Amino acid sequence: MPPTPNRQPAKPTGLECRMAVLGADVRLTPHRREVFEVLQASTDHPTATDLFTRVKDRSPGISLATVYNCLEHLTGAGLIKQVHLERGQSRYCANLHEHVHFHCETCGKVIDAHPAADFDPAKFWNLPAGTRVSRMELAIHGTCSACAAR
Amino acid sequence: MPPTPNRQPAKPTGLECRMAVLGADVRLTPHRREVFEVLQASTDHPTATDLFTRVKDRSPGISLATVYNCLEHLTGAGLIKQVHLERGQSRYCANLHEHVHFHCETCGKVIDAHPAADFDPAKFWNLPAGTRVSRMELAIHGTCSACAAR
DNA sequence: TTTAGAATTAGAATGATTCTAATTCAGAAA
DNA sequence: TTTCTGAATTAGAATCATTCTAATTCTAAA
């Protein structure tokens, strides 16, 4: 039996490329990179199938399962966010700035809304002492200005 | 052809009972009443199948489809609220006071949290002029005090 | 070149919800 | 009372989004 090799943890080299955000990291494989780039280029808040359609134009062989897989890894690494606005498909968002989502119930459009500079969400709700908050998700539903104008 | 009878719109009489809230109304049929009462008596935020199980103790013949149907009507009438905390099953809530939901990611418990008296949500997000807000849904995720103590 | 593990895939499986078509029921009209 | 109409209810099928599975491919290190 050969001596136990002094195996190092795999390090990124060559084509392999990692991005680290908030301590987590992902290997940015070609598919993951494309899903990420397509999402970053999207101003709407696409669903997994929306992204599947868009990425297929660039990588015809990609499968929906891979898109879901990529989204899961990217979400886990904190590179993108999963958004739950209503029942049905989840939506995804590459805007990492703190923001909330406005959802127009008439046309379905989703708009990012950013909080006022002095907004401190934690102090507005009377959570029991000892509660730890890891994230908040605010969905505002209504009618967007374009629809309201009609 | 007989003369057109002067048909009046159906009015609630006898056992039939309506509740009107915010302009909407529902006939409170026995099943709807039971689903509503069971939800009001629940301190957790039950899912449709949770409610189905609980209501079946009182009305063994009820079907899951009817529970969904009742929940839809009660929600439409504004008597209860549908809550989306995570992917998967919707939860329901009979607390009509303005409040947000805290979701413990460790034990799954959901706690109602009420806003501070001076909280005016509308002014904290820079929504485009002309936007009309009909409702807001805030989910706060984290660890409840009991789980945090462990 | 071999190996080990991760990524990817197609398709099956799952879970929640919604739909469908038939039946039952309540109250109004005859 | 009996009939009628529309709503409520039902079981089961259908749908939809997602997750799982098992096989295959790929990457980078040994």
pLDDT tens, residue by residue, A83-136: 998 888 999 999 988 888 999 888 888 988 887 777 666 667 778 888 888 888
pLDDT digits (tens, 9 = 90+) for A40-86: 999 889 999 999 999 988 888 788 888 999 999 899 888 899 999 88
Instruction: Return the structure tokens found at A87.
Output: 């029942």
**What pLDDT does residue A62 have?**
84
pLDDT along chain B (150 residues), means of 10: 28 35 58 90 92 87 87 89 89 90 87 77 75 86 89
Would you identify the CATH topology of the domain A18-149?
Answer: Arc Repressor Mutant, subunit A (1.10.10)
**What pLDDT does residue A83 have?**
92
Q: Tell me which of A17-21, A32-36, A40-44, A138-142 is least confident.
A: A17-21
Residues of B in contact with A114 (CB under 8 A): 125-126
Question: What is the least distance, in Å, from the CA of B150 to any CA of chain A?
Answer: 11
**What pLDDT does residue A99 have?**
86
**Superfamily of domain covering B97-150:** Ferric-uptake regulator, C-terminal dimerisarion domain (3.30.1490.190)
Beta bridge partners of A140: A102, B136
| Nucleotides of strand C under 7 angstroms from a protein beta carbon | 6-12, 15-20, 26-30
Do the domains B15-95 and B97-150 sit in the same CATH topology, yes or no?
no
**What pLDDT does residue B27 have?**
67
**Nearest residue to C7 via alpha carbon and C1':** A29
Provide the residue ranges of all domains of chain A, joining segments of one domain with +.
Answer: 18-149
Rounded CA–C1' distance between A92 and D30, in angstroms: 40
A150 and chain B: CB distance < 8 Å anywhere?
A: no
Nucleotide with smallest C1' distance to residue B14 CA: C27
Q: Is the CB of A60 within 7 Å of strand D?
A: no
pLDDT digits (tens, 9 = 90+) for B75-119: 988 889 999 988 889 999 999 888 889 998 888 889 888 877 776
**What pLDDT does residue A81 have?**
92
B21 and chain A: CB distance < 8 Å anywhere?
A: no
Would you identify the CATH topology of the domain B15-95?
Answer: Arc Repressor Mutant, subunit A (1.10.10)
Cα torsion through B26, B28, B29, B35, rounded to 10: 100
**What pLDDT does residue B12 have?**
32
Q: Flag whether pLDDT at A23 surpasses 50.
A: no
